[in-house]
Amino acid sequence: MSQLEAINILAKQAEKVGFVSQPLSKLAGAPALPETSAFWASNYALILALQPSSGDLSSLREAVQSGQEWLDIACMQRESQVGSVVDGYLLIILDHAPDEAAAGVIHQIELDPTACRKHFAWPSQVTTDEADLRWSRIYRVTAIGLPASPENSRMTGSPILEADLQKRLLNDIKQFGAQESARRHASDAKMGPDA
Residue 195 pLDDT > 50: no
**Cα–Cα nearest to 126, from 117, 118, 135:** 135
Q: Helix or strand or coil: residue 89?
A: strand
70, 33 Cβ separation under 8 angstroms: yes
Q: How many Cβ atoms sit within 10 Å of the Cβ of residue 12?
A: 13
**Cα–Cα nearest to 76, from 30, 8, 126, 140:** 30
State the chain's mean pLDDT as an integer: 83
In whole angstroms, what is the distance from residue 182 CA to residue 173 CA?
8
In whole angstroms, what is the distance from residue 139 CA to residue 153 CA?
26
Predicted structure pTM score: 0.72
79, 85 Cβ separation under 8 angstroms: yes
The least confident of 69-73, 74-78, 158-162 is: 158-162
pLDDT confidence of residue 164? 66
Reported as a pLDDT band with limits 50, 70 and 90, residue 124 is confident
| Interval 81-104: pLDDT, tens | 989 999 999 999 999 999 999 999
Residue 79 pLDDT > 80: yes
Reported as a pLDDT band with limits 50, 70 and 90, residue 125 is confident
DSSP assigned state of 37: -
- The fraction of the chain above a pLDDT of 70, given in percent, is 83
